[in-house]
Amino acid sequence: MYTSLTNRRKFIKKMAMLSAMTAAATMFPGILFADEQEKGLPDGDINWTKAPCRFCGVGCGVLVGTENGKAVAVKGDPKSTVNKGLLCVKGYHQIMCLQAKDRLTHALVKKNGTYVQTPIQEALDLVASKMKETIEKHGKDAVAMYTSGQSTIPEGYVASKFMKGAIGTNNLDCNARLCMASAVTGFLTSFGADEPMGCYEDIDHADVFVLWGNNMAEMHPVLFSRMLEQKNRRGAKIIDFATRTTRTSMAADKSILFKPQSDLAVANAICYEIIKNGWVNTSFVEKHCSFNKGLTNMGYGLEDNYKFKDKPEKIDFKAYKKFLEDYTPEKVEKISGVSVKDIKYMAAYFGDPNKKVVSYWCMGINQHTRGTWMNNLVYNIHLLTGKISQPGNGPFSLTGQPSACGTAREVGTFTHKLPKGVVTNEKHRRLAAKIWKVPYERIPSKPTYHATEMFRAVDRGEIKFIWTQVTNPLVSLPKTSRYRPGMEKDSCFVVVSDVFPTPTSDVADVILPASWHIEKSGLYGNSERRTQHWDKMVEGPGETTPDAWMTIEVAKRMGFGDLFPYSEENHVEEIYNEYRQFHEGDKHGMAPLEVLKSQPGAIWPYVNGKSTQWRFNAKYDPACSNNEDFHFYGKPDGRAVIWQRPYEPAPEEPDNEYPFWLNTGRVIEHWHTGSMTRRIPVLHKAMPNAYVELHPKDAERLQIKNGDKVKLITRRGEIIMPASVNQRGIPTPLQVFVPFFDENMLINDLTLDSFCPISKEPDYKKCAVRVEKV
């Protein structure tokens, strides 16, 4: 069992109080959850401090209870408008990972094949000298940094300043490339401005929720509970459009299953129906939209050094209408397996002017070799019907990581990004150089490696030094069967900063002990553009150090001290205030730190002391300046773009030799690669290992029972794992699903490293696999 956090007597005392309160609470059912949480807990000597949750992109407000310098409890923050006091099982138990026995407390340096505990100052000396030496010998582009959508805003900011401003290389990318890149390119191509226009309050207004390949009951449970509440209270409808029957399907009003990759066709069919039935909001489209088409047959990025650049071309409504004739519901039924009736059913909700519709999606659409297209297609539906940027109406792209928006996208820890804009734009480079106080010529204008290509470059021997922070790529990358041997090669010096040992730290030359969440101060930005701040609450063990401070220390040792004049105690605040300058103005203004400290976050654009909940809508967004109801100011002509994007097949579809689709994903108990959640006994006991889900009919045909050992074989590798039949989820026939959290059953050794040519985000949801009973 878990170890007790306080001494036994206190614990019993607390439990007694708690059970007394529980008993009292049972006498008054219907008591408000938030109130009950505020009043009904052992408050005595526990000190409650606010923070955003460490895990997913929803960004729930939590209150962490500390006592005698130790974190002892977690509750939902009733003041947070995100979760209103409710959390999920991961959130409630998050602090328990801190007690794991194998915590990395000191720096470890590999000497003659074994790890030697080393004083952190010495380890940082080594990292800096290795980095310097590599640059001198092989050039700036031989060193790389790979960070995370879980890095705090200051961590991402100093990483960007260090790599792009100090060293002068664009070799910086992050794991958000694996989850949000298609959402970003989707927003940029359709609207010219990243991140959703709406906010979570949409849930309280919408009549219909369409979930596109998104198992929200497990992946965004707190938002899903808000939706369920609206379903129960107001009769709001939930439509689950997916390739797998899940807990979400069970709670939804309607579950519609489609064949992998055919979502492209179905989305186009919905647009076809909307136009055919005259449901187009003509005045909205005429005033605020334009039509584009791009290149097709882009390829899938399977080969090294793959390059692609889209060529947008203006078209008119007539041409777009003509294009859609290939996507009548009857034709699409044959591609997708979705009945004509169901296609018309979905289209009718979008088309009904009296129904408010919100679309939600996450990895189903983003981890897609046509992910950017799929994002565009959902926007098309909302733009054609004018259901966008209004309370209860809009497309909403959810995120998976707590600061995928705040750090990866807004600070810009991608190879092509700067804290404002992109490296290819001279104006943006000049702004960055000015704020960073570096010569403008130092920031290179050409992007280098995106995540997958970065690890290919490590394998090829081009990158000779890589530093990963807050991420576990050797579990989370696709086709790790190539990238693990690549990282193990002597040609590359690997530095891994982490809190716990992982398969990635196993191949490191230096392991740096990082501070966990509440052992440092920081800021995260969630899916609804909400920036949240937290203060350090407990001391980390041993020589653990915040990632931002380790980056700064290495930068200082490399002679860039003048660019990082921050103090160790106050660096978070100093860095945030410097970073805020990038986003000044009413299109992206960030709330001042005092505001973020006093409340559970604020939504940007934060203008004149107010969060902007709905962007592009003149009623709410002060940045709208065209005197119309809506202004898509991200595009020079103020118009959002409706894209002509066709259906194209996946790069590796099932055939006779590999007859099944392989789909991967998460479970509610574990978060991503499980390095934290598996060390929380409650979660480990509930979900101790990975499994392969089969459709009951497939299982019957192969004579596989629940729990039987099954071998999965793809062109990249094979693995044996227990079967799961009729348990947590049921994939469509001839598809299998495997969660990827289990480092002892690395499913990503088998996945394909194909990606969306526009966003460079890999597709973890589709490749061909053979299933054999062992």
Partner 1 sequence: MKRLGIISLFVLLFIAFITIWNYSYQTGLKDAYIPLENEISSPKIPSEAGVFQRSEYAFDYVNMPVDEKHQRTLETYYDNRAYHGAPPSIPHPVKQEMSMGGNTCLQCHQNGGFVQKFNAYAPVTPHPEMINCRQCHVTQNTETFFTETSFVKVHAPTAGIHNALPGSPPMIPHSIQMRENCLSCHAGPAAPKEIRVTHPERINCRQCHVPNAIEYSEKSVFSRNNN
Q: How far is the CB of 514 from partner 1 (least distance, A)?
A: 18
Output 157 or 224, the one with its CB closest to partner 1: 224
Output 623 or 683, the one with its CB closest to partner 1: 683
- Annotated catalytic residue, options 56, 60, 88, 179: 179
Yes or no: say if 550 and 514 are a contact pair by the CB < 8 Å rule.
yes
Beta-strand relationship, 493-498 and 510-513: parallel
Beta-strand relationship, 61-67 and 47-52: antiparallel
- 230: closest CA among 406, 324, 358, 113? 358
Output 165 or 654, the one with its CB closest to partner 1: 654
* Cross-strand partners of 709: 722
Output 12 or 295, the one with its CB closest to partner 1: 12
The 3-class SS string of 225-238 reads: HHHHHHHHHHCCEE
Output 254 or 287, the one with its CB closest to partner 1: 254
The 3-class SS string of 685-727 reads: HHCCCCCEEECHHHHHHCCCCCCCEEEEEECCEEEEEEEEECC
The Cα-based distances of 737 to 211, 214, 476, 530, 656 in angstroms read 19, 14, 16, 33, 19
- 523: closest CA among 197, 48, 50? 50
Q: Does 23 bind partner 1 (CB under 8 A)?
A: yes
Q: How far is the CB of 726 from partner 1 (least distance, A)?
A: 6
Give the angle subtended at the CA of 644 by the CAs of 638 and 645, to the nearest 5°. 125
x/- track of binding to partner 1 for residues 704-733 (CB under 8 A): ----------------------xxxxx-xx
Query: Residue 20: CB partners within 8 Å, gap ≥ 6?
Result: none
- Annotated catalytic residue, options 180, 289, 374, 454: 180
Helix (H) and strand (E) counts in the chain: 26, 31
Q: Does 93 bind partner 1 (CB under 8 A)?
A: yes
x/- track of binding to partner 1 for residues 244-273 (CB under 8 A): -xxx-xxx---xxxxx--------------
Yes or no: say if 357 and 390 are a contact pair by the CB < 8 Å rule.
no
- 712: closest CA among 658, 761, 639? 658
- Report the site for partner 1 in 688-707 (rule: CB under 8 A): 688-689, 695-696
Residue matched to tokens 């001042």:
592
Q: How far is the CB of 686 from partner 1 (least distance, A)?
A: 4
Q: How far is the CB of 227 from partner 1 (least distance, A)?
A: 10
- Annotated catalytic residue, options 61, 165, 400, 638: 400
3-state helix, strand, coil in the chain (%, to 5): 40, 20, 40
d(CA 222, CA 219): 9
Site size for partner 1 (CB under 8 A)? 92
Query: From the list 53, 56, 88, 712, which residue makes contact with partner 1 (rule: CB under 8 A)?
Result: 88
Beta-strand relationship, 289-293 and 692-694: unpaired
179 is catalytic: yes
User: Which segment (157-165, 469-477, 525-533, 681-689) binds partner 1 by CB under 8 A?
Assistant: 681-689
- Report the site for partner 1 in 119-158 (rule: CB under 8 A): none
Output 231 or 482, the one with its CB closest to partner 1: 231
Q: Would you list the DSSP string of 310-365?
A: ---EEE-HHHHHHHHGGG-HHHHHHHH---HHHHHHHHHHHH-TT--EEEEESHHH
Yes or no: say if 300 and 757 are a contact pair by the CB < 8 Å rule.
yes
* Cross-strand partners of 9: none
Output 571 or 695, the one with its CB closest to partner 1: 695
- Annotated catalytic residue, options 94, 150, 261, 401: 401
User: Which segment (39-47, 184-192, 314-322, 638-646) binds partner 1 by CB under 8 A?
Assistant: 39-47
The helix-helix angle for 329-336 and 340-351 (nearest 10°) equals: 120
- Report the site for partner 1 in 749-768 (rule: CB under 8 A): none
401 is catalytic: yes
- Report the site for partner 1 in 561-620 (rule: CB under 8 A): none
Yes or no: say if 332 and 261 are a contact pair by the CB < 8 Å rule.
no
Query: From the list 648, 681, 713, 717, which residue makes contact with partner 1 (rule: CB under 8 A)?
Result: 681
Give the angle subtended at the CA of 670 by the CAs of 248 and 3, to the nearest 5°. 130
- Report the site for partner 1 in 47-86 (rule: CB under 8 A): 65, 72-75, 86
d(CA 46, CA 489): 49
User: Which segment (92-100, 354-362, 518-526, 760-768) binds partner 1 by CB under 8 A?
Assistant: 92-100
90 is catalytic: yes
User: Residue 49: what are its φ and ψ, rounded to 5°?
Assistant: -125, 140
Q: Does 106 bind partner 1 (CB under 8 A)?
A: no
Query: From the list 683, 692, 747, 750, which residue makes contact with partner 1 (rule: CB under 8 A)?
Result: 683
Query: From the list 2, 585, 598, 619, which residue makes contact with partner 1 (rule: CB under 8 A)?
Result: 2
Helix boundaries (H) for 516-601: 547-555, 571-580, 593-598
- Report the site for partner 1 in 220-249 (rule: CB under 8 A): 221-222, 224-225, 228-229, 232-233, 245-247, 249
Q: How far is the CB of 228 from partner 1 (least distance, A)?
A: 6
Output 565 or 688, the one with its CB closest to partner 1: 688
Q: How far is the CB of 45 from partner 1 (least distance, A)?
A: 11
| Token duo for residue 380 | 């098309």
180 is catalytic: yes
x/- track of binding to partner 1 for residues 423-452 (CB under 8 A): ------------------------------
- Annotated catalytic residue, options 14, 75, 84, 90: 90
Output 168 or 681, the one with its CB closest to partner 1: 681
d(CA 30, CA 27): 9
The distance from CA 260 to its chain's CA centroid, rounded to whole angstroms, is 21
Q: Does 660 bind partner 1 (CB under 8 A)?
A: no
Query: From the list 314, 437, 446, 685, which residue makes contact with partner 1 (rule: CB under 8 A)?
Result: 685
Q: Does 663 bind partner 1 (CB under 8 A)?
A: no
User: Which segment (147-155, 417-425, 498-506, 551-559) binds partner 1 by CB under 8 A?
Assistant: 498-506
Q: State the distance between the two ends of the chain, measured CA to CA, in whole angstroms.
A: 33
Q: How far is the CB of 752 from partner 1 (least distance, A)?
A: 23
Q: How far is the CB of 14 from partner 1 (least distance, A)?
A: 5
Amino acid identity, position 40: G
Q: How far is the CB of 58 from partner 1 (least distance, A)?
A: 12
- Report the site for partner 1 in 314-343 (rule: CB under 8 A): 333-334, 337-339, 342
- Report the site for partner 1 in 205-224 (rule: CB under 8 A): 217, 221-222, 224
Active-site positions read 90, 179-180, 363, 400-401
